[in-house]
Amino acid sequence: MKKSNFWKSYGFLILMLTGIVAGCVVGAIWPAVMEVVDGETIIVDKGATVLEPLGTVFLNLMFCIAVPTVFCSISSSIANMQSARRAGKIMGVTIATFLVTAAIAAVIMYVTVRLIPPVVGEYALVEGEVGGTLGVADMIVNFFTKPDFTELFSRRAILPLIVAAITNCIMKTFKIFTYYAPIGFFGFFAYLIAYHGSDLIGDYGRALAIYYILSFVYMLVFSPIYARFGGGKGAAKVMFSKLFRPAAMSFGTCSSVATIPTNMEVAEETGISKDVSNIVIPLGATMHMDGSAMSAIIKVAFLFGMFGQDFTTGRAILAIIVAVFSSVAMSGIPGGGGTGELVLCSIFFPDHLAVAFPIALALGNLVDPPATMVNSAGDYVVSFIVSRYVDGKDWLQKRLAGKKEADASELR
């Protein structure tokens, strides 16, 4: 990969990771000093927790822009929908397959985190108490940003209203806000480590190890199963001969959309019908998110561990449903990953949203390369299943037989 392409694909991720690492280092070397007086914990020296407003500004910006971003994106998608008889059948089977495979991926991740919990330490993360006199830092944060979109229209929030009003495009605003993420992550993680201790770093590493290993296992084990179901005998072998090209492309670019040409190429070489690949693969780039469903489950499991709560069966069922919805429905939305994480946190941790959201967002960014790999490589595999229902169970055998005849005629 060329240097320019590498930076384009991973540059912003590197900046965010740098912000997280720098924040952890600052928080570790400049911890808050606390004493227990009459059963109440009192902060004697704030340490790096004074940097928390840097993270709060980022959170307020993201919370503020999430609602109009979702509204505009979904409205645009609905307005541009088209339909045709065969295309409708292909789309129906495709979306159903996306939902089933995402659910399977989510269940697998849930079983894994039950067997190998991503958090082994004991924590009790809570947000700061609301009320009392605002400090200078809090006043600055509230002066320039608001945590909710509706608060922009209050006469007490004139400056935030002006800041939002001067931007003509909601999507552009969202993109601009994300540029602040490295600084926001720096401030938030400096506060988090300074207040709760450096053991958090080890738990992040544990969660990443679980996800990276399981993503490769899922792709190598379940892709041939799906291919065999969709293409019959010999399909797994054919699939494996092509799979690693889109897998490498998606892992290297962190982009499902950038992998579309490679997926289209290997689909054509396999003998998948043009109308199938022309729908499944582009649609899959924005909706087929097995890796994202797995990511959602590990985020929820990680946060339950951080908040000292039990990941019960009832919560697990709800988490799987939300994971599938957030991965499939939110994936086509610009910034959909962040929106999906906001949905997850608002459902499971509504009282601790300001703490849970940046933790989930950071974890999501760190697992993005393997998640994209599972998502994009799976688009090619799903085309096998769709072909089974559209072109018949023996579609692959017919394609291979036709190719043999064509090769034989060329030799004559």
Q: What is the pTM of this model?
A: 0.67
Please, what are the domains in the chain?
A: 12-395 (1.10.3860)
pLDDT at residue 393 in the model: 86
Note the residue count of the chain. 412
Ramachandran sector of residue 7 (left: φ over 0; alpha: ψ -120 to 50; beta: rest) = alpha
- Give the separation between CA 47 and CA 170, rounded to whole angstroms: 37
- 3-class SS of residue 42: strand
The angle that helices 290-306 and 313-329 make with each other, rounded to 10 degrees, is 140
Q: Answer whether 342's CB lies under 8 Å from 357's CB.
A: yes
> Phi, psi (5° rounding) for residue 34?
-125, 150
Q: How many other C-beta atoms lie within 10 A of the C-beta of residue 61?
A: 25
How many Cα atoms within 13 Å fall on the side-chain side of residue 8?
Answer: 8
Terminal-to-terminal C-alpha distance of the chain: 41
Q: Which helix (H) or strand (E) holds 210?
A: helix 199-231
The predicted pLDDT at position 159 comes to 46
> Rounded distance, CA 194 to CA 28, Å?
6
CB atoms within 10 A of CB 351: 10
Distances (CA, A) of 383 to 97, 159, 229, 360, 403: 10, 51, 11, 31, 19
10 Å Cβ neighbour count for 405? Answer: 10
Structure token digits, residue 343: 């949905």
- CA-based nearest residue to 300, from 279, 272, 322: 322
User: Residue 147 has what pLDDT?
Assistant: 55
| Tokens standing for residue 64 | 């503020």
Which distant-in-sequence residues (6+ apart) come within 8 Å of 164 by Cβ?
64, 152, 173
Backbone angles phi, psi at 37, to 5 degrees: -120, 115
Task: Return per-residue pLDDT of the chain as tens, 412 residues.
Answer: 555 666 765 676 677 678 777 887 887 788 776 666 666 666 667 777 777 777 777 667 765 665 565 455 444 444 444 445 666 777 788 888 888 998 999 999 999 998 988 877 655 554 443 334 445 455 455 544 555 555 555 545 444 444 444 444 555 666 676 677 777 777 777 776 776 666 666 777 888 899 999 999 999 999 999 999 998 888 899 898 888 888 887 876 677 776 777 888 888 888 888 878 888 888 888 788 898 889 889 998 998 888 888 888 888 888 888 878 766 655 544 444 566 777 788 888 887 777 788 888 888 877 888 888 899 899 999 999 999 988 888 888 888 787 777 666 665 5
> Strand, helix or coil at 273?
coil
On whether the CB atoms of residues 166 and 2 are closer than 8 A, the answer is no
